[in-house]
Amino acid sequence: MASNALHLFPSRFSSILRCNLTSSFSINPSKMTRRLAVSTRRTSSMTATGENKSQPLEQERVSLKNFFDQAKDLVTSDVGPPHWFSPLDCGHPLHNSPLLLFLPGIDGTGLGLIMHHQKLGKIFEVLCLHIPPKDRTPFTDLVKLVERTIRSEHHRSPNRPIYLVGESLGACISLSVASRNPDIDLVLILANPATSFSRSPLQPILPLLQFMANLPNHSLPHVVSSTAGAMADLDKGVGVGAELLLTSFDPSLLLYYATALHNSNLQVLADILPIQTLLWKLEMINSASPYANSRLHAVKAQTLILSSGRDPLLPSQKEGLRLQRLLANCEICTFQDCSHFLFLEDAFDLVTVIKQVGVYRRSKERDFVSDYIPPSPSELRTLRDNNRWINIMSPVMLSTLADGTILWEQKGIHLRGIAHPMMFMKLKQGNLVELPFSDYFRLMGAVPVSGKNFFKLLSTKSHILLYPGGIREALHRKGEAYMLFWPERSEFVRMAARFGAKIVPFGTVGEDDFFDILLDYEDQMKIPFLKKYIDALSDEVGKLRTTVDGEVGNQDVYFPGILPKYPGRFYYFFGKTIETDGRKQELRDRQKAQELYLQVKSEVENCIAYLQEKRESDPYRSLVSRLLFQARHGFTSEVPAFDLD
């Protein structure tokens, strides 16, 4: 609802351009011509990596077939104890990247992240645990193996966090290790934890598998073939049991995926999980689950639970909520259309989730500036595709130049917004709810408002989007449309001058074409239960500018009651650039800084006034007129607006 803002650009940026959000963003990614390669190692020492100086275009994401191809090579003549390997496709990560240890599920190959190696390898040092099919290492010994590794790595780099990404059984290992090592900085990312195995539909299958293991012909392809035939012939009552039997092989990498690809993959599954190994792994999970559950109270690590909405093997959604309640520092993400093996789903991107949730850091505390990873081309495409509804608004974006150059694609300008801290808060209890689009804000690099973060952004030559009025200005009240509520004194001018940043006044109008305010702050504060809610919510998220007098000092958090209207159109206008380069000494004088501050505010007001006036002559301000225009000229065509003076 905010109607104005400032863009602060580094001194090397020379222009503000006219642009339109409907412009396309074309990418020509290079093709990946080789499949995954791995290098094995049986020690926990890391090789040195150099800083990733360039950011190449993304390679084409590998498919599930790559998993089976690589697994076939990995398990051939595979003997010995569990060991770590480093996927060569991960490449060289950014300087000082954290370590990521992948702990596999029941398959034990360690290839469960194969679809994510390329992206993970840019921001992590990646090691994957491989458990050979014939290995019979007990669960507690696996826990000790991982524990030795993290202790060694922690001793080598005590200020670097270690990420444990665990899938199913691997999640039980991760929780157990974390409970035994509360003094080590761990971040747990757990996909469909098998801590719920006692409630799994696989429980009744264990005796049946034990019986099948004693049959003379019990290879996995034979069992699957026999089961599939039985399902076609048996009546409904027995057919349900046969279907459950077939489902029981989902832990061995979702047989229905394998069958859909090619029957030859069944032999790979047989090599990965022969019946005896499958039994061993299921019995291991049966004991690992209570072991991990009994130690949840001791887990202090930052934890992210990833739950699939269509997990046929475990009650993952309910388990995620249970773990969130029991763990000290835990949040949850649910993926409704995904099945048990979340990491092998085409629609799932682990790195994007890590960015959106905000769990990536290179040290003990997250640095919102230096730890930020810009969105990849595929993430930008997804963001655009998920917000195609914006096209129906046909937003008009103008600036003081009119050469038609596109702001984002041509100049590579990435604006990082200064946002209220509540955009980054995730409370288990209380009144604060997850705000709409908060994932997008975090993905695009928004940072909590503070002088420290503002300074860091300027010092790293970032491009900043700033709303000086904060919540008071963003959430207008009745009769306050497009009014500015800025602090009386400058809060940014002298700091901008210190770095020679360009200040670009920026105005927006159009929100009044989308809704009317029914209950504003004043109305709600007169209603006792709403007043109590506002007070409680404001206390939860923390009040800003408590030392500032007047309207701007009132930063209470509330949500206005609105009445939607027939959609209109948004208009944006970038005003004339105001230079601060070379004025550092001059603007040390408070009076001079105040004069420039008032000039900036006046320019923002002029931008808003210009748009309010000009939109009255826009023949396509209404939705109907825009739809009719696009019906005649094509729905991808740019809808014109008013004439520029």
Q: How many whole angstroms separate alpha carbon 23 and alpha carbon 394?
A: 11
| Residue 340 CA: distances (Å) to CA of 112, 309, 316 | 12, 9, 8
Q: 325-350 burial string, b = 16+ CB within 10 Å, else e?
A: eebeebbbeebeebbbbbbbbeebbb
Half-sphere exposure at residue 114, Cβ-oriented, CA atoms within 13 angstroms: 21
If you search the block for the tokens 């949040």, which residue do you land on?
331
Angle between helices 236-247 and 205-213 (to 10 degrees): 80
Q: 380-394, 409-423, 493-507: lowest mean pLDDT where?
A: 409-423
Q: How many whole angstroms separate alpha carbon 135 and alpha carbon 80?
A: 7
Which residues, listed in sequence order, are joined to residue 571 by a DSSP beta bridge? 396, 509
Query: What DSSP letter does each residue of 180-198 carry, written as one string?
Result: H-TTS-EEEEEES-GGGGG
If you search the block for the tokens 């351009």, which residue do you land on?
17
Taking only the tens place, the pLDDT of each residue in 520-570 is: 888 989 999 989 988 888 887 766 665 556 666 567 888 888 888 888 899
User: What's the pLDDT score for residue 15?
Assistant: 29
User: What's the pLDDT score for residue 552?
Assistant: 63
Q: Is the pLDDT of residue 213 over 80?
A: no
What is the pLDDT confidence band of residue 413, given thresholds at 50, 70 and 90? confident
CB 172 within 8 A of CB 145: no
CATH of domain 63-200+279-357: 3.40.50.1820
Q: Is the pLDDT of residue 56 over 90?
A: no
What is the pLDDT confidence band of residue 351, given thresholds at 50, 70 and 90? very high
Question: Taking the domains of the chain in order of start, what are their residue ranges?
Answer: 4-22+394-512+569-633, 63-200+279-357, 205-259
User: What's the pLDDT score for residue 387?
Assistant: 78
Number of H helices, E strands in the chain: 22, 17
Taking only the tens place, the pLDDT of each residue in 267-276 is: 677 677 777 8
CB 406 within 8 A of CB 17: yes
Q: Where are the beta strands (DSSP E) in 338-384?
A: none
User: What's the pLDDT score for residue 168?
Assistant: 95
User: What's the pLDDT score for residue 380?
Assistant: 87
Taking only the tens place, the pLDDT of each residue in 221-238 is: 454 444 444 434 433 333
Q: Is the pLDDT of residue 491 over 50?
A: yes
Q: 17-26, 362-371, 575-584: lowest mean pLDDT where?
A: 17-26
Q: How many whole angstroms separate alpha carbon 71 and alpha carbon 111?
A: 7
Q: Is the pLDDT of residue 121 over 60?
A: yes
479: left (phi over 0), alpha (psi -120 to 50) or beta: left
